[in-house]
Amino acid sequence: MIKEKANINWNELKFSYLKTDYRYISFWKDGKWDEGKLTEDNYIRINEGSTVIHYGQGAFEGLKAFTQKNGSIGIFRPDMNAKRLQNTAKRILMAEVPEDKFIKACKDVVATNYKYIPPYGYDASFYIRPYEIGVGENLGVRPAPEYLFSVFGVPVGPYFKGGFNPVNMVVADYDRAAPKGTGHVKVGGNYASSLLPHQIAAEQGFADCIYLDPKENRYIEEVGAANFYGITKNGEFVTPKSGSILPSITRLSIMELCEKVLKIPVFEKPIDINSLDQFSEVGACGTAAVISPIGSITYKDKVFKFYKDGKEVGPITKKLYELLLSIQRGESDIFKEWIYILD
């Protein structure tokens, strides 16, 4: 493993693409996956009839690797991402990537791109992007005859500008996903539909938008790039319950931290957009966003403001953020099984 680091200002990293040295690629054909390989080529060549181009048969994941306090490198809960990709594959009829293949591919990409992994102590991480797409010769609406699975990685800084500080959100006039559709899996179409609402929100000066349920347009679903949660004024952790929400691994993790470490009651239930006054803190959580406090939410002619008039990070959100980072960076003795250390 190469030990020197790339000439990067780790404090100035944004959440953006940077070509790193190696990525993993593997093909499924005739009912089986090949062994896969590492390559320096950051372009892929696919048939013009590939189902990912015409019918959106493709999925992706996002997870992170961190330099640990002791200098080793650890990946946060890759087994959960492997299972989620398999769940997505089932929904859109793709070949499933075995969990051990997924984890090994992630480890190989992290190990061979060591010089791009931010050192311990920086507000930065190595973002890992696995994806699977339908490829091969095809024309009709049917599952692809072949599949491509690949993993690449990029050093990144905070997803939202300003880092761990309150951001302002607005409720979108658009739906993110349909009931009984693909909102609960990580397919590209869900994100394509969020591009216009996000652009409108950004033009209005908001960090992102919040989506309501597509059936009644009444209950909060999630933030454009993350799951939603709230801390009630009596100290309960509440997050939306819906069949069209992507199950965030970060959200699952902080729910476990609430229950087992902070001893805070946790509830998954519908959150009426007009009931936001019950919360003293709200936030967004996900691999990219980590935990991002939300200062205010604008809905029609109402503006809901949270902790300290939306100007400061709430105490429970701050504690959850610190706990999660301490685990990811190898500073804590709890939930060590969440971190997969590179050999």
Which sequence positions are flagged as catalytic? Answer: 186
- CA dist 88 and 102 (Å) reads 14
Please say whether the beta carbons of 51 and 147 come within 8 A.
no
Distances in whole angstroms, Cα of residue 87 to Cα of each of 31, 81, 82, 90, 96: 18, 10, 9, 5, 8
Contact residues for 143 (Cβ-Cβ < 8 A; gap 6+):
51, 57, 93, 94, 134
- Strand pairing of 290-299 and 167-171? parallel
Q: What residue type is 170 in one-letter code?
A: V
- CA dist 109 and 116 (Å) reads 11
Burial zone of 120 (CB within 10 Å; 0-12 exposed, 13-18 middle, 19+ buried): middle
In whole angstroms, what separates CA 173 from the centre of its chain? 23
Dihedral class, residue 10 (left if φ above 0, else alpha if ψ from -120 to 50, else beta): alpha
Show the tokens assigned to 237: 């952790």
Per-residue buried b or exposed e for 318-333, using 16+ beta carbons within 10 Å of the residue's own CB: bbbbebbbebbbbebe
Closest CA to 147 of 77, 88, 81: 88
Q: Which residue has the tokens 């992290």?
A: 110
Which helix H or strand E contains 89, and what residues bound it?
helix 78-91
Torsion of CA 98, 103, 24, 145, to 10 degrees: 10
Phi/psi for 200 (5° steps) reads -60, -45
